[in-house]
Amino acid sequence: MEKLKIVFLGDIVGKSGRKALALFRNRLMDSYNPDFIIANGENLAGGFGLTIEKVMELKDLGINVITTGNHVWDKKDFVKQLDHLDYVLRPANYPDGVPGRGWGIWHINNIPIAVVNLQGRIFMDPIDCPFRRMDEIMKDYLSGVKVIVVDFHAEATAEKICLGYYLAGRVSAVIGTHTHVQTADERIIKEFTGYITDAGMCGAIDSSIGMEVKDAIERIIYHIPRKFSVAGGKTQLNGVFIEVETSTGKCLRIERIYWKEGDDRN
C-alpha cells in the first residue's frame, strides 16, 4: 500500500511564526519525513497579509503550497502578484474576477495531490458558498484526483464541522484555520477523511493569537481602533500530520503537532 505523508502548518504569524518554522524545520523533517508541506500564510507579513519576500522565505524552508484567507488582500502590492504565483492560493469561493486561484494540483512521485482553499461565511464576509463551490471544483476539475486536502479558513466551529461531514468520503482531509487556537478534535470522519477544526498557529506563545497582548487588551477595553503588533519571545509550531493512501485518497492517520520553543526536542 503506497502512502503520502503530508504536513499542514497552522497560520504563520509574522516574524515569530517564521522563526518557529525555521527553528523546528529539522525536527519536522526528522519526525515525519513529509512528502508534501502546506502552510497557511495569510499572516506572514507583520501579522496581516503577505509579501513576495516573506513568501520566498517560506519556499526556502521547504513549504510546497501556501494557503491563505481573508487577510490575503491586505498588502496591495502582493495582490498584484497572485496571478503569477501558482503555489500561493486564495480562497476559491471569492467571486469570479478576483486575482489568483483557489486550488491547484501538484505531483509527488507521479501521484497528483490537490489542495483547495475555502473561506467560511459565518461571522465573516458574505462571499460565495464554500460548500457549493467545492462541489463545482470537484466535479469540473478533480474527478480523477484521489488525494485532496482542503484548508477551510473559517470563524465558526460549527461551519467547519459541517464541511468536514459534507466532504467526508470525498476528500482526504479538511483542516480548519483562522482562529489561531489549535483544537483537540482531530479524527477521521467516516473512516476516510482526516479532520481538525483548527490547526492552530505558528507564532509567539505569550500573545493574543500571535499579537501583543497589551494591544489586544486595550482594544477590548476601550473599543477603539488599535494597531496590532506581532508578539515576540518564545514560539510555538502548530499543525497536523496526515498519512494518506494514494490509491483511494483515504486518510489513514492524523496527528496534531504542538511544539514549543524551549522543550527538550528543538
Q: Are 202 and 10 in contact (CB under 8 A)?
A: yes
At residue 256, the 3 state secondary structure works out as strand
Extract the C-alpha cell encoding 116: 483547495
Q: Are 79 and 106 in contact (CB under 8 A)?
A: no
Extract the C-alpha cell encoding 30: 526528522
Q: What is the secondary structure of 8-70 as a DSSP string? A: EE-EE-HHHHHHHHHHHHHHHHHHH--SEEEEE-TTTTTTSS--HHHHHHHHHTT--EEE--G
Extract the C-alpha cell encoding 225: 481602533
Q: Are 205 and 236 in contact (CB under 8 A)?
A: yes
Catalytic residue among 71, 153, 178, 180: 71
What phi and psi values does residue 160 have, to the nearest 5 degrees?
-65, -45
Q: Respond yes or no: is residue 153 known to be catalytic.
A: no
Q: Cite the active site residues.
A: 71
